[in-house]
Amino acid sequence: MAQLPVIGALWMEGPLSYLEQLCLKSFVDAGHKVVLYHYGPLENVPEGIELGDANDFLPQTNFLQHERTGSPALHSDLFRYKMLEKSDNVIWADTDAYCMRPFETKTGHYFGWESDKHINGGVLGLPKDSDALKALLEFTSDEFSIPSYYGEKYQAELEQKKAEGTPVHASEQPWGVWGPHAVSHFLHQTGEEKYAFPQEVLYPFTFKDRRIMLKRDVDVSPYVTDKTTSVHLYGRRMRMRLIEKEGGAPHPKSFLASLLRKHDIDPAKAPIMTRHKPQVDDGAAKDTAAKDNKAKPSDPAQGLVIGDPAFMARIGLEALKGDKSFGQVAKEFKVDNKLVRACRDRIRDHASDLFVPVDVGGVSASDLMANYIHRRHFLQTANLSAFTPPGSKFLFMKTSKAACSTVMATLIRQMARARGDEGNGVMETLNSVHSPPANLVMSGLKALNEQMIMDALADPDVFKFTVIRDPISRTVSAWADKIDGNEKEKGRLMRYLGRDENSNITLKQFIALLAEDEGARDLDRHWRLQRKETSYDLIDYDYIGLVEEMDAAMEKIVGTCFGTEAAGEIVDTRRTLGHKTKSSELIKTLSAKDLKNLEKAFGPDFEMYEEVKARLSQSAAA
């Protein structure tokens, strides 16, 4: 029997969590030799793992990170190509790739389709004489290489900048430019994609399906088959989910927990590192939460409750009993009377959510609701066609400060015309645009409920779309419109900060605040993370457009929903309702520090934006 390939992996430095331990040990238990390369000191390395100096393949000098997301993916991409070039009988594996069965290859090729469009390099084996490997090494040898796989328009743009003496560095190009996009392109170019395994072999769970691995008592046999050799755990996203939703460890009856037991991995001995403060005991939590809510009062008028969820639940349940006044409950918990009412109302108004039996692709209504400030916010974000227009029924998840007024106004006008009415008088103000007639577009508490949204998400005949915006211009626009413009959102922010409502905050101060204060960043939909507002990680969208490419986005949206004849009929609220800010001029005033703060505040949005931009470029090139 041929010797199994060596598994090579990279961990820059620092402690491994139980997820990395699980994946690395799974290869050892399957009979592979595993070499974990690193640059700095490591902790929590499982027994049986051999350590190697990463500098042997790629010196740490000039460490490559993506400009906007800060991701070390570029460095990791280049490292694996260098490792494959200089090693014999080696397969690269990300530290979030779990081994179900031994990896065996007769040709040295070992990789697979992650979707119908992309081959992922999370598990990658290429022989030294591979033409694709040579092409990858050549392409990544120049940090200013211009990719051809994002379409002629993008390529021409980069060539123009290079000719002007300002070439675009790989770190400023779309996420994945040296990774899966390059791997897919060069394997296709050389014909080596013929060696790619079907999706079920290495990526049985798609990115959208990843939460299934954490659900209790779920039969994974439709995903993990007798052909599956690896399961991709989507490390960073899985770690975030485990910390934010699972208490740091998977449910004992989940698929992931069963893998941990199989390899005798104890999550408590190698916890996932997080920036969150450690949990405190029940009494201390009550006192701390009370202080927090005194310092940063809730805004019951907006349905906003800020603080520890368990503490808020106890307040609400106590108030629901009805045997104490709001004042008595407030005194008992050391909080404001208004907060008691808000907690009670939250439980009363959301109680039905606990009994909604909806689940789409492993995503439940409660999963979606977790992304929004309150139930009303969620239902106002969703916009569902009231009847089937000439093209397609639609579900639009709008994002504030991302051309949502233009999209909504256009949808309303087109729906009115589809019904035989020009829609005159329907859109006289911005409020009327965002409170559409329910016989045209259903939105909000009065017209929608969770079941209707989940049914739409499950219906393949419903066109599901959203539009997002460059995080820099969106944040600047939010400040110009809502803060500098003295709208109600400014008052809410000042109350949150414990300041007079008439106080001022400059753009630079606003950006610095959002970088440091998660509560302030999550306070209002006009500057909250678009990744949350769109439920980007939960909804399988048919289309995501960009404000920066609005003409193309609206042509796609209107053409799909109302037919190609209507594609040019757009209602631009910047002209019709004067809804325009001075963000382009303000952006020019931002310093390098301001831009760093924006990256810190909205890292997930920058990453999402780059992913969407890359997909659109690839679609245009196809």
* Predicted confidence (pLDDT) per residue in 164-189, tens digit: 998 988 888 887 899 999 999 999 99
The Cα–Cα gap between 69 and 604 comes to 7
Q: For residues 124 and 80, is the Cβ–Cβ distance under 8 A?
A: yes
At residue 137, the pLDDT reads 97
The Cα–Cα gap between 485 and 505 comes to 11
At residue 226, the pLDDT reads 96
CA distances from 612 to 321, 335, 545, 615 (A): 48, 44, 8, 5
Q: Which of helix, strand or coil describes residue 381?
A: helix
What φ, ψ does residue 462 adopt, rounded to 5°? -95, 125
Q: Which of helix, strand or coil describes residue 58?
A: coil
The Cα–Cα gap between 142 and 609 comes to 24
Nearest to 171 by CA among 148, 138, 140, 150: 140
At residue 236, the pLDDT reads 84
- Neighbouring C-alpha atoms within 13 Å toward the C-beta of 609: 26
At residue 430, the pLDDT reads 55
At residue 496, the pLDDT reads 86
Q: Which of helix, strand or coil describes residue 117?
A: coil
Both tokens assigned to 613: 């931009």
CA distances from 537 to 63, 244, 384, 558 (A): 29, 14, 20, 25
Q: Quote the radius of gyration of the chain (alpha carbons, Å).
A: 26
Q: For residues 225 and 254, is the Cβ–Cβ distance under 8 A?
A: no
At residue 29, the pLDDT reads 97
Q: For residue 73, count CB atoms less than 10 angstroms from its CB and return exposed for 0-12, middle for 13-18, buried for 19 or more.
A: buried
The Cα–Cα gap between 178 and 461 comes to 35
At residue 298, the pLDDT reads 44
Please write down the HEC assignment for all residues of 210-245: HHHHHCECCCCCCCCCCCCCEEECCHHHHHHHHHHH
Helices (H), 282-381: 282-295, 309-320, 326-333, 337-350, 365-369, 375-381
Helices (H), 351-449: 365-369, 375-381, 404-418, 430-434
Cα 255 to chain centroid, rounded: 23
At residue 358, the pLDDT reads 52
What φ, ψ does residue 589 adopt, rounded to 5°? -90, -5
At residue 128, the pLDDT reads 94
CB crowding 478-487: b at 16 or more within 10 Å, else e: bbbbbbbeee
Low-confidence ranges of the chain (pLDDT < 70): 1, 61-71, 274-309, 352-361, 422-431, 566-570, 572-581, 622
CA distances from 397 to 165, 251, 539, 622 (A): 41, 31, 10, 27
Complete DSSP assignment for 236-300: HHHHHHHHHHSTTS--TTBHHHHHHHHTT--GGGSPPP-SSPPP--HHHHHHHHHHHHHHS--BG
Cβ neighbours around 35 below 10 Å, total: 17
